[in-house]
Structure 1
Amino acid sequence: MGIISPAERLLAAADLHEPVETGLLTVDLSAIAANWRKVAGLAGGAECGAVVKADGYGLGQAAVMRALAGVGCKTFFVANLLEGETARALAPDAAIYVLDGVVPGCAPRLAAADLRPCIGSFAELEEWAAAGATLGRKLAAALHFDTGMHRLGFPPRAAGEVAARAHGIAPTLVMSHFLSSQLPDDPVNARQIGDFLAVRAHFPGIAGSIANSSGVFLPQKPHFDLVRPGYALYGGNPTPGVANPMRAAARLSARIVSTRDLGPGDTVGYDGVWKAPRPSRVATIGAGYADGLPVSATAAPGKPAGEAVVGGVRCPFIGRVSMDYIVLDVTDAPKVAAERGQWVELLGETIDVEELALRARTIGYEVLTRLGRRYARRYVG
């Protein structure tokens, strides 16, 4: 028998299922599927699609689309051509809409991947019709109308002209986008619904869609023919101000890489923004803003700091959130849970995406979509 080196002994003893990364993102695909079913049930007779842009809101476009297709989703929305090409490879038979519309020069690739651009200008309309003429067929597309976002889309007053000039394409959807659907009492919602109804009158027989996640929950039930939830599918709250009706889909943990004891007056992190008010024990975790944790979660006068759960105890971020590390005050946490190598919760059963966003003075959408690629990822359910 040969001599076994110390390195070989360590490798033999290692748990190969334990992530070597210092951050772990666990995505619950069954929760995403359940959230889609819930929204589909609320939509009545309308079809329920899914917005899977930004890498499935940061949780992985491929895994998310497979899970949604598995429960019956047949229509997907992405932001741009590249996301659309990826979606087409994942869902060969699905209807896939590209929210960017027809970016100059992209028409041939959009058509080759059988993607449906959301057209919001006459220039796009002409380019898409020309691409179809080259191919000898009319190409499918959505017609996007701007009822208040002032971002993308035809003005509602142009609906008649759009209808007259759309003869060179095959419209499959007329759509708009709410700007305040998360505020059910905002009168702008009713005004947008009225404008959209007026637009739709110019396109008989073509499906209509205006409801995003929060729009599905509006009292007017503006579901029309297709709803297109995004944030709610991934566990975000589509009804701010009341309990979240959706299941959490993401859990984020980070590993403690270092601990130390501080005396009163010792500072932590860049610029010494935190000073120990008492003898303190602190722990450094291997995650930072390069991993999508907002630097704005740093503690500051007048705002709450981000927190992690260590052995069941909430422990605040102290010092600045830096690129690769966050320091926690673990003085009050169980010592056994606050040792090097232990895992702490940043997002999960105790701290949901809405709370993390609130403590960082941002929105849950940003928290999810910025989740970094350095995490080990595990898909469950």
Structure 2
Amino acid sequence: MLTIDLAAIAANWRLLKARVGRADCAAVLKADAYGLGASRVGPALAAAGCRHFFVAHIDEALALRPHLPAQATVAVLHGVPPGAEADAAAAGLVPVLNSRPQVDAWRAQAARRGRRLPAILQVDTGMSRLGLSPVEVEALAADPQALDGIDLVLVMSHLACADEPAHPANAAQRERFAAARRRLPAAPASLANSSGIFLGADWHFDLARPGAALYGVAPVPGAANPMRPVVRLQAKVIQTRAIDAGTPVGYGFGWCAPAATRIATVSVGYADGWLRSLSDRGTAWFDGVELPLVGRVSMDTATFDVGALPDGALPPGTLVDLIDARHGVDAVAAQAGTIGYEVLTSLGSRYARHYLGGDELGGIQTAPARDGVPAAMA
């Protein structure tokens, strides 16, 4: 069972909004709200006051749009694929233009519709992933017709090392971002992601774009996590068995019992997003007792040493905790040798999902934005 606390997500957004002061605060809902359900998370954040939402792909944006208030904006981080400009404009989406071809295609769409279309322009400040390079920014700035028909609602970039507060790249990217903005038409600006919010006011600009922190992931690794936990993941015991010392467990016989114990086979595996790298490293919890994962995680099952529990404590059907407030997503990520982002987005569709804290949504009217008339970004 996967329990998702919508009230905690809303509280996390309010904390981040307070942290950025006068700046606005968006929410990144890409990858189905980091695997937690954008159609449920989006309305909860809208009820909390969020009006700017980011997803990665146009299909994510089209799926999310009907669940949000008409005045909300939905921005597509990857821009619009060639040939999909008309659909994006009709749905009132705001593309993030990452290249000159994307700029030109959106300008052409505006000309065909005979009106201005909103867009965000991304500049690359050192990550070498998405956005216009400094050379492309110069070329764009030198072309007075480049943005004809485009309502530039935001200029943005993305931080590569924000989770390392002392990394010199943070200040360098901020300076490159400021230099790019000086070459472009005046528009609101956005640089800070979840971790970037905690770098300080110099990185906040006009709009912050938190993602993982909304879902309880620590924004500053190694520091106390100010975010409320969002996810509780539980799985059912299928059976338990007593084994003798020296008995191997699981594929490859990679773990052998050092002493007589009991093993619980639990219905969770890498097909459920319980990562194979948790083999011999992960844990479950029951009644405050830590239960080590032993042997390899397989597709549908994992095995845990439950010898520390009384005999009979885990009859078939009993739920054990895999992620909870005590042992959160970052702790699981550390055991798996990855990051909380991957843990959350790996959680599959097999779990029965239970949402908490959605009762406050009654006052929000959700409807598609009118054709091409989304709210301004700032």
Question: What TM-score, normalized by structure 1, do the two folds share?
Answer: 0.90
Decide which of 204, 211, 235 is 1:230's aligned counterpart. Answer: 211
Aligned to 1:337, the other structure's residue is in SS state coil
Which residues of 2 match residues 308-323 of structure 1 at below 5 A?
308-323=284-299
Q: Greater CA deviation, 197-206 or 262-271?
A: 197-206
Contact (CA 8 Å) 1:266, 1:275: kept in 2 or not?
Answer: yes
Q: How far apart, in 1, do the equivalents of 2:83 and 2:301 lie? A: 42
Provide the residue aligned with 1:197 in structure 2: 178
Decide which of 332, 346, 352 is 1:370's aligned counterpart. Answer: 346
Decide which of 331, 339, 357 is 1:355's aligned counterpart. Answer: 331
Q: How far apart, in 1, do the equivalents of 2:238 and 2:39 lie? A: 31
Aligned to 2:40, the other structure's residue is in SS state helix
Q: Using the TM superposition, give the Cα deviation of residue 244 of structure 1 relative to its aligned residue in structure 2, in angstroms.
A: 0.5
Q: Using the TM superposition, give the Cα deviation of residue 380 of structure 1 relative to its aligned residue in structure 2, in angstroms.
A: 0.7
Q: How far apart, in 2, do the equivalents of 1:344 and 1:350 lie? A: 13
Provide the residue aligned with 1:337 in structure 2: 313
Which residues of 2 match residues 43-54 of structure 1 at below 5 A?
43-54=20-31
Amino acid of the structure 2 residue aligned with 1:341: G
Does residue 131 (structure 1) correspond to residue 120 (structure 2)? The answer is no
Q: How far apart, in 2, do the equivalents of 1:358 and 1:148 lie? A: 28
How many residues are treated as equivalent by the alignment?
353
Decide which of 102, 124, 127 is 1:149's aligned counterpart. Answer: 127
Amino acid of the structure 1 residue aligned with 2:284: A
Cα-to-partner distance string for 1:168-196 (whole Å, 9 max, x where unaligned): 32111100000000000001100000011
Provide the residue aligned with 1:77 in structure 2: 54
Q: Using the TM superposition, give the Cα deviation of residue 280 of structure 1 relative to its aligned residue in structure 2, in angstroms.
A: 1.2
Does residue 270 (structure 1) correspond to residue 248 (structure 2)? The answer is no
Q: Greater CA deviation, 224-233 or 131-140?
A: 131-140
Cα-to-partner distance string for 1:329-374 (whole Å, 9 max, x where unaligned): 0001233432222110000022111110010111100000111111
Q: Using the TM superposition, give the Cα deviation of residue 236 of structure 1 relative to its aligned residue in structure 2, in angstroms.
A: 0.4
Q: Using the TM superposition, give the Cα deviation of residue 310 of structure 1 relative to its aligned residue in structure 2, in angstroms.
A: 2.0
Does residue 183 (structure 1) correspond to residue 164 (structure 2)? The answer is yes
Q: Using the TM superposition, give the Cα deviation of residue 138 of structure 1 relative to its aligned residue in structure 2, in angstroms.
A: 1.9
Structure with greater Cα Rg:
1
Cα-to-partner distance string for 1:23-54 (whole Å, 9 max, x where unaligned): x0000111000000000001111110000011
Decide which of 9, 13, 27 is 1:32's aligned counterpart. Answer: 9
Does residue 214 (structure 1) correspond to residue 207 (structure 2)? The answer is no
Does residue 63 (structure 1) correspond to residue 40 (structure 2)? The answer is yes
Q: Using the TM superposition, give the Cα deviation of residue 204 of structure 1 relative to its aligned residue in structure 2, in angstroms.
A: 4.6
Contact (CA 8 Å) 1:184, 1:219: kept in 2 or not?
Answer: no
Q: How far apart, in 1, do the equivalents of 2:339 and 2:119 lie? A: 31
Q: Which has the higher contact order (CA 8 A, sep 6+)?
A: 2
Contact (CA 8 Å) 1:156, 1:196: kept in 2 or not?
Answer: no
Provide the residue aligned with 2:364 in structure 1: none
Q: How far apart, in 1, do the equivalents of 2:337 and 2:170 lie? A: 26
Does residue 307 (structure 1) correspond to residue 288 (structure 2)? The answer is no
Q: Greater CA deviation, 102-111 or 235-244?
A: 102-111
Q: How far apart, in 2, do the equivalents of 1:157 and 1:199 lie? A: 10
Decide which of 56, 72, 95 is 1:117's aligned counterpart. Answer: 95
Provide the residue aligned with 1:19 in structure 2: none
Q: Unpaired segments of 5 or more residues in structure 1?
A: 1-23, 300-304
Aligned to 2:147, the other structure's residue is in SS state helix
Q: How far apart, in 1, do the equivalents of 2:60 and 2:231 lie? A: 21
Aligned to 2:239, the other structure's residue is in SS state strand
Seq. identity, %: 47
Q: Unpaired segments of 5 or more residues in structure 2?
A: 358-378
Aligned to 2:285, the other structure's residue is in SS state strand
Contact (CA 8 Å) 1:215, 1:221: kept in 2 or not?
Answer: no
